[in-house]
Amino acid sequence: MPKKVGIIGAGKVGCSAASFLLPNVDEIVLYDIVPKLPVGEALDLQNAAEILGLNTEVKGTNDISLLHGLDAVVVTAGFGRTPGMSRMDLLSRNLPIIEDIAGEYGGKDYETVFIVVSNPVDVMTYVFWKKSGADRHRVAGLSGLLDSGRLKTVMRLNKNIRIKGLSSFVLGEHGENMVILRDRMREEYGLSNSDLDWVQNETVKAAANIISMKGATVHGPGAAIARMVEAVLSDKEEALPASVVLDGEYGVKDVCLGVPVKAGRKGFKVVQEKLSENEMNMLKKAAESVIIALEQIGYRK
């Protein structure tokens, strides 16, 4: 079965994701509202595919209707963070963009799996789900997979510890209220409380550090997007962390939050793992932060 993926937003992150996806999909459709941009990026990526000896076909378009009937659609459209800006600072700027895109899919594409990347991602994922009418299992936000990659980097560069696989060590909000599973980290890697405090702080500010040096995070998000898409299309129910709509799992309801899931062509199935009392409390605190943001934009009362 051909693997077809759409990417909404032909900016740096969207195109980075496309480049990582080239070897593993049959067709990529890039969409953007900027005239000629997605066509130019698609041609550039097609050149790359030919050089690498790949059969992947890359298309660019300003017509979003061409992104229907695909296996997966990734939403990277919107404004990104600049130095000194938090993800929540993007709330009012990205809200109308996500609402418009989600409206395009209202009542359509019931078999498509959607991955939202635009920040603040937990809020935007919820908005996309509400406005599109998609099944909650078919919508997820990029969160814990990217955060876990950043945690792994902190551990490797500063503690000389390699963490392998896609272990869900970071849950909760993709932001200040991310939840690092401290008990698991302590047990598996022998870290002290002071070590864990430092690792958490460094992981939280990892993106801001990169943004302060080069203006944006690009390749980490691009790789994480590709990894999520590949997990969906392989249909092996691979376990990874993602922000999904919860309906009572982990004691949280009607909000998007990063939790362990199994990914496949039917979407994302929440995996209920045993957390400590402290970790559960931190997860609920993260949920409260997302709920407050949803209340500010009228999506929760």
- The whole-angstrom separation of Cα 62 and Cα 247 is 36
Same domain for 135 and 180: no
Q: Could you list the active site residues? A: 174
Same domain for 287 and 150: yes
Q: What is the sign, positive or negative, of the torsion defined by CA atoms of 88, 91, 97, 103?
A: positive
The domain tally of the chain equals 2
Same domain for 178 and 248: yes
Same domain for 170 and 258: yes
Does 166 have pLDDT greater than 70?
A: no
Both tokens of residue 95? 């809200």
Q: What is the pTM (predicted TM-score) of this model?
A: 0.96
Q: Is residue 11 part of a domain?
A: yes
Q: Which range is least confidently modeled, 56-65, 79-88, 278-287?
A: 79-88
Does 57 have pLDDT greater than 80?
A: yes
Q: Is residue 29 part of a domain?
A: yes
Reported as a pLDDT band with limits 50, 70 and 90, residue 36 is very high
Same domain for 255 and 199: yes
Residue 220's pLDDT is 98
Both tokens of residue 270? 């929440």
Same domain for 209 and 128: no
DSSP structural state of residue 31: E
- The whole-angstrom separation of Cα 171 and Cα 257 is 8
The mean per-residue pLDDT over the stretch 233-242 comes to 95
Q: Is residue 301 part of a domain?
A: no
Same domain for 168 and 201: yes
CA angle, 13 then 153 then 5, to 5°? 30
Looking at 141, 176, 208, the residue that finishes a domain is 141
Residue ranges making up the domain that contains 175: 144-296
Greatest alpha-carbon pair distance for the chain in Å reads 53
Which percentage of the chain shows pLDDT scores above 70? 99
Assign residue 87 the CATH number of its domain.
3.40.50.720
Please name which of 184, 193, 196 lies closest in space to residue 159, comparing C-alpha atoms.
196
The residue with tokens 């790359």 is: 48
Same domain for 99 and 220: no
pLDDT tens digits, one per residue of 105-138: 987 888 999 999 999 999 999 999 999 999 999 9
- The whole-angstrom separation of Cα 279 and Cα 274 is 10
- The whole-angstrom separation of Cα 159 and Cα 247 is 37
Assign residue 268 the CATH number of its domain.
3.90.110.10
Same domain for 148 and 182: yes
Does 35 have pLDDT greater than 70?
A: yes
Residue 242: its H or E element: strand 238-247
CA-based R_g, the chain, Å: 18
Q: Is residue 135 part of a domain?
A: yes
Chain-centroid distance, C-alpha 157 = 24
Same domain for 119 and 198: no
